[in-house]
Amino acid sequence: MAASETARIEAFSDGVFAIAITLLVLDLKVPRELGQERTLDRALLAQWPAYIAFLTSFLTILIMWVNHHRMFTLIGRADDRLLFYNGLLLLGVTIVPFPTSLVAEYLRHDGQRTAALVYNGTFILLAICFNLLWRTAAVKDRLLHPHADPVAVRRIFDSYRYGPVWYIVAFGLAFVSVTLSIALNLALAMYFALPGRVRQAA
Amino acid sequence: MAASETARIEAFSDGVFAIAITLLVLDLKVPRELGQERTLDRALLAQWPAYIAFLTSFLTILIMWVNHHRMFTLIGRADDRLLFYNGLLLLGVTIVPFPTSLVAEYLRHDGQRTAALVYNGTFILLAICFNLLWRTAAVKDRLLHPHADPVAVRRIFDSYRYGPVWYIVAFGLAFVSVTLSIALNLALAMYFALPGRVRQAA
Amino acid sequence: MAASETARIEAFSDGVFAIAITLLVLDLKVPRELGQERTLDRALLAQWPAYIAFLTSFLTILIMWVNHHRMFTLIGRADDRLLFYNGLLLLGVTIVPFPTSLVAEYLRHDGQRTAALVYNGTFILLAICFNLLWRTAAVKDRLLHPHADPVAVRRIFDSYRYGPVWYIVAFGLAFVSVTLSIALNLALAMYFALPGRVRQAA
Amino acid sequence: MAASETARIEAFSDGVFAIAITLLVLDLKVPRELGQERTLDRALLAQWPAYIAFLTSFLTILIMWVNHHRMFTLIGRADDRLLFYNGLLLLGVTIVPFPTSLVAEYLRHDGQRTAALVYNGTFILLAICFNLLWRTAAVKDRLLHPHADPVAVRRIFDSYRYGPVWYIVAFGLAFVSVTLSIALNLALAMYFALPGRVRQAA
C-alpha cells in the first residue's frame, strides 16, 4: 500500500470522529411535561448531569482526534494490522455516545455506579486501542515515515504508556464515589484539552 | 506543524459543521394523533415555530461555516492554542441543535423566554469563540499566511468586533418580547446570508 | 476567490448530501406491539409506504449529488452569489428527510394528500434552486472554467429547463390521485438513476 | 470523466460509510423503567442481542469499506454504469442500521426468524452489488487503471465470486436455527476483519 492509503484511512477516521462527536448532542434532551413546580429553567438545570457527560465526552473525543491526527503525521505506510487496530479504535469511538447517555440518564440515580463503570471501561478500552495502534506502527519503526522525528516518536511512547492508568484510577474510584469518578473524567478531559498540555498529552 | 496541518483541521471542522447543520432536520417532527379538528395540514401549520427555528439555525451555521472558511484562507499555520479555540468553537457548533429544539418546542408556550435566552446565549458564546480563534491567529500576524492580504485581515477584525453585540441585543430583547428577539435572530441570519453582504459580514 | 475555493464548497456540499441521504434510514422504523394477528413479517410488509418513500428520496438525493458534482466540474470560480444559491440548495437537501417521513407515515391514511403536496413542493423548490445555482454560474459564462466544454454546458441548460416541470406535474397529480403522484416520483427517480440516462438528466 | 472523478466518488462513498457505521450506535438503547428486580446492570446484560448485532454490523460495514477502498485503488476511470452500481451499493450500506435494529430488538423473541432473514437478505444484496460494481469496472479491464496489478485484480475476482455464498448459507441456516445464523454472521465478520485475512477476503 502506498502513502496515499494513509490519506484515505485518515479521511474515513476523521468522518467517524466528526460524526460521533456531533451525535453527542442527541443526549441533550428537551424537557417535557412541565408544570407550575417544574418550569423550563428548573427542568433545564435539573439535567446538569447530561451537560457534564456531554462536555466530558466531547473533550475526550476531541483529544483523541488530535492524538490520532498527530500519530498519523508520523506514520508513513499502512498494512492490514494497522487497518485492524485502527478499525478497533473507531469501534470504540462510535460507542462513546452510548455510555455518555447512560451517565447523562443515571448520574444521581440508582444505577449510577454501573453507568460510571461502563463509561470508564469504554475509555480504558480506547486507551488500550491507542497503545496497540501506536505499537503496530512504531515498534522497530515498522510503518513510520522515514523522516519521522525520533523525539516526537519517543514522546508519544511515553505519554501513551501512562494514558490507560488514569482511566483505571477513575474506574476504581467509581467504587468509592461515583461523583468523584466522573469529576476525575471531566478534570482529565479539561486538563488535556488546554493548550500547552495537548502536546504532552499526545 | 506544517501548512497541511491546517488542511486537516479544516476537513474535520467541515465535517462537524456539515453534520450539525443536517441534524437540525430532526427538529422537524411528523405530527401524530390527528383527528377531525386536527388535520395534517393544520398540524403542520401549527408547528411554524419549528420552521422558524430550523431556518434561523440553518442560516446561522451556514454563515459561520463561510466565515470559518474565509478565516482559514488567511491562516497559514496551526499551534496548540489555535487547536484549542477551534475545538471550543466546534463544541458550540455541535450544541446548536439543542437550543434550536428548545425554541421549536417552547416558542408561544410557557418557558419561551428561557428557550430564547438559551438560544441567544449559545450564539453569544459562539461569537466570542470566533473572536478568540481569530485573535489567536491574527494578532501580530501570529499564524497568518505570509502573503495574507492585509485588507482582508483588517476587514475580519472590524466585523468580528461588532458580531457579539447583535446577539447581546437579541438576548436583552428576549426580556421585552420573545417574539421580537427570535425575529431579530432570523433577520440577522437572513441579512448576513444574502449575497453581497456575506463579504462584509465576514 | 481561487479555484481551491470551489474545492471546499464541493467538500462541504458532499458532506451535507452524504449525511442527508444516510439519515433517511431513520424513517425505517422497527415495528412494535406485535401480537398473534400482527406478526413481525406482516408488520414489516404493512409499512411498505416507508420503503417507497425511502427509495424515492434516496434516488432523488443521489441524482442531485451526481448533478451537483457534474455542474462543479464545469464551474471554475466562486463568488458570494454562488455561495448563497448553493446554501439555498443545501437547505433544501437537508429538509428532504422531513417530507419523506410525512409520506412514510401518512401514505394510505388521512392526510396523505397534504404529505404528497409537501413532498413534491420540496422537490419543485429544489429544482428551482438548481436552476438558480446553474444560471448564477453559467449565464454569460460568469464563473465557468475557461476550458469548460460548451456542449456539456448547453446540455445542462437544456435539461434543467424541464426539470421543475416534472415535479409540478407530480404536484398537480396529487389532487387527482396521491398514489399516482408518488408513483410518478418513484418512476422519475428510477428513470434518471438508470445509467445512460443520468447523463441526459444532468 | 477524468481520474479526479473517481476521487469525488470515493469521498462521497467514504462519507456514507462513515455515517452509516456511526449511526449503528443509536441501536444501543439506554434501559428505562428499572426497579428492584431490574437493576441497571441486569438490564444492560439483558440487551446482549443489541451488542451482537452492533458488533456484527460494525465489522461488516468496516470490511465493506476496506474492500471498496481496495477496489478503487485499481479503478482509474468512472462512467455512468459505475456511478449507478456504486449508488446501488451505497443504498445497501445506508439500509444496514435498519435490519440491525430488527435483530437487536427481536433476537430471542417472536419474530426473530424474520429479523434474521431480513438481516442476511440485506447482506446477500450487498454482496451482489459488490460483484456488479466490480464486474462493471474490471471485466475486459473496462475502467481499470492502466497500471493496475493483474494479480490484485485476479484476487478480487476470486474472492467476490464466493462472497455471496456465505451469506446465502447464513440465510438458509436461519430456517434451522436463528441463533446459529446470527453466530455465523458474527463469525464471518470477525474472521474477515482479522489482519492477514482481510487481504484474502478482499
Cβ distance D94 to C62 less than 8 Å, yes or no, reads: no
* CA D194/CA A194 separation, integer angstroms: 37
C103-120 residue pLDDT tens? 999 999 999 999 999 999
Q: Indicate which of C30, C33, C200 best probes the interface with D, i.e. most D CBs within 10 Å of its own CB.
A: C30
Kindly list the residues from chain B whose CB atom is less than 8 angstroms away from the CB atom of residue C84. 193-195, 198
Indicate the burial class of C128 (C-beta count within 10 angstroms; 0-12, 13-18, 19 or more). Answer: middle
Cβ distance B80 to A195 less than 8 Å, yes or no, reads: yes
**E strands, chain D, where?**
none
Predicted pLDDT of residue D149: 87
Cβ-based neighbours of C193, under 8 Å, separated by 6 or more = C59, C62, C63, D84, D87
SS3 content of chain C, % helix, strand, coil (to 5): 80, 0, 20
As given in the structure block, the three cell numbers for residue A82 are: 494497522
* CA D112/CA D24 separation, integer angstroms: 19
* CA A166/CA A124 separation, integer angstroms: 9
Predicted pLDDT of residue D142: 86
pLDDT: is C197 or C135 the higher one? C135
* CA A75/CA A86 separation, integer angstroms: 12
Instruction: Name the pLDDT band for A22 (thresholds 50, 70, 90).
Output: very high
Lowest mean pLDDT segment, chosen from A134-143, B177-186, C51-60: A134-143
Instruction: Name the pLDDT band for A200 (thresholds 50, 70, 90).
Output: very low
Q: What are φ and ψ of residue A180, in 5° steps?
A: -65, -40
Owner of C-alpha cell 417530507: C99
Predicted pLDDT of residue A112: 95
Predicted pLDDT of residue D181: 96
Nearest C-alpha neighbor of C89 from the set C169, C16, C198: C16
Q: Dihedral sign for Cα B34, B39, B44, B48, please.
A: negative
Cβ distance A87 to D14 less than 8 Å, yes or no, reads: no
Q: Indicate which of C4, C14, C21 best probes the interface with D, i.e. most D CBs within 10 Å of its own CB.
A: C21
Kindly list the residues from chain B whose CB atom is less than 8 angstroms away from the CB atom of residue A195. 79-81, 83-84
* CA A112/CA A118 separation, integer angstroms: 10
Owner of C-alpha cell 428492584: D36
Mean pLDDT of B85-91: 95
Interface confidence, given as ipTM, is 0.90
* CA B89/CA B91 separation, integer angstroms: 5
Per-residue H/E/C for B127-145: HHHHHHHHHHHHHHHCCEC
Instruction: Name the pLDDT band for A121 (thresholds 50, 70, 90).
Output: very high
Q: Which residue in chain B has the smallest CA separation from C11?
A: B14
Predicted pLDDT of residue C200: 46
A199: pLDDT strictly greater than 60? no
Instruction: Name the pLDDT band for A196 (thresholds 50, 70, 90).
Output: low
Instruction: Name the pLDDT band for B199 (thresholds 50, 70, 90).
Output: very low
* CA A58/CA D123 separation, integer angstroms: 33
* CA A166/CA A60 separation, integer angstroms: 13
Residues facing B37 on adjacent strands: none
Report angle CA C1, C4, C8 to the nearest 5 degrees: 100
Mean pLDDT of C59-78: 91
Mapped onto helix, strand or coil, the DSSP state of residue B157 is helix
* CA B133/CA C11 separation, integer angstroms: 23
Predicted pLDDT of residue B2: 43
Residues facing A144 on adjacent strands: A75
Kindly list the residues from chain A whose CB atom is less than 8 angstroms away from the CB atom of residue D62. 87, 90-91
Subunits next to A (3 or more Cβ pairs <8 Å) are B, D
Owner of C-alpha cell 466528526: A18
Note whether D127 and D164 are within 8 A (CB).
Answer: yes
Kindly list the residues from chain C whose CB atom is less than 8 angstroms away from the CB atom of residue B41. 111, 114
Q: Indicate which of D6, D21, D39 best probes the interface with A, i.e. most A CBs within 10 Å of its own CB.
A: D21
Kindly list the residues from chain D whose CB atom is less than 8 angstroms away from the CB atom of residue A78. none
Cβ distance D94 to C22 less than 8 Å, yes or no, reads: yes
Mean pLDDT of A53-81: 92
Residues of B with CB under 8 A from a CB of C: 10-11, 14-15, 17-19, 21-26, 28, 30, 34, 39-41, 44, 55, 58-59, 62, 65-66, 69, 73, 193-196, 198-199
pLDDT: is C140 or B163 the higher one? C140
B31-44 residue pLDDT tens? 988 888 889 999 99
B129: pLDDT strictly greater than 80? yes
Q: Which residue in chain C has the smallest CA separation from D100?
A: C30
* CA D119/CA C107 separation, integer angstroms: 26
Kindly list the residues from chain D whose CB atom is less than 8 angstroms away from the CB atom of residue C22. 16, 19-20, 23, 94
Rg (alpha carbons) of chain C, rounded to whole number: 19
C68: pLDDT strictly greater than 70? yes
B160: pLDDT strictly greater than 90? no
Predicted pLDDT of residue D8: 83
Predicted pLDDT of residue C4: 62
B1: pLDDT strictly greater than 70? no
* Helix D48-74 with D150-176: angle, nearest 10 deg: 160
Predicted pLDDT of residue C202: 40
Q: Which residue in chain C has the smallest CA separation from D14?
A: C18
Give the minimum alpha-carbon distance from D178 to chain A in angstroms, rounded to a whole number. Answer: 25
Lowest mean pLDDT segment, chosen from A135-149, B13-27, B62-76, C185-199: C185-199
Alpha-carbon distances, residue D146 vs A175, D86, D134, D155 (angstroms): 62, 21, 16, 17
Chain B, chain C: beta-carbon pairs less than 8 Å apart: 81
Mean pLDDT of B68-75: 90
Give the minimum alpha-carbon distance from C106 to chain D in angstroms, rounded to a whole number. Answer: 20
Rg (alpha carbons) of chain B, rounded to whole number: 19
**E strands, C14-165, where?**
none
B26: pLDDT strictly greater than 80? yes
A166-192 residue pLDDT tens? 999 999 999 999 999 999 999 999 988
A104: pLDDT strictly greater than 60? yes
Of C10, C28, C30, the CB nearest to D105: C30
* CA A59/CA A50 separation, integer angstroms: 14
Q: Which residues of chain D have pLDDT under 70?
A: 1-5, 196-202
Kindly list the residues from chain C whose CB atom is less than 8 angstroms away from the CB atom of residue B198. 80, 83-84
Per-residue H/E/C for C133-144: HHHHHHHHHCCE
Predicted pLDDT of residue A151: 87
Predicted pLDDT of residue B196: 58
Kindly list the residues from chain D whose CB atom is less than 8 angstroms away from the CB atom of residue A98. 25, 28, 30
Mapped onto helix, strand or coil, the DSSP state of residue D9 is helix
Of B19, B41, B198, the CB nearest to C80: B198
AA identity, residue B50: A
Nearest C-alpha neighbor of B13 from the set B79, B60, B81, B66: B66
AA identity, residue B3: A
Q: Which residue in chain D has the smallest CA separation from A22?
A: D22
Considering A32-41, B10-19, B27-36, the range whose residues carry the highest mean pLDDT is: B10-19
Alpha-carbon distances, residue A111 vs A53, B42, C163 (angstroms): 15, 43, 57
Give the minimum alpha-carbon distance from A27 to chain B in angstroms, rounded to a whole number. Answer: 9
Kindly list the residues from chain C whose CB atom is less than 8 angstroms away from the CB atom of residue D15. 14-15, 17-19
Of C11, C25, C65, the CB nearest to D94: C25
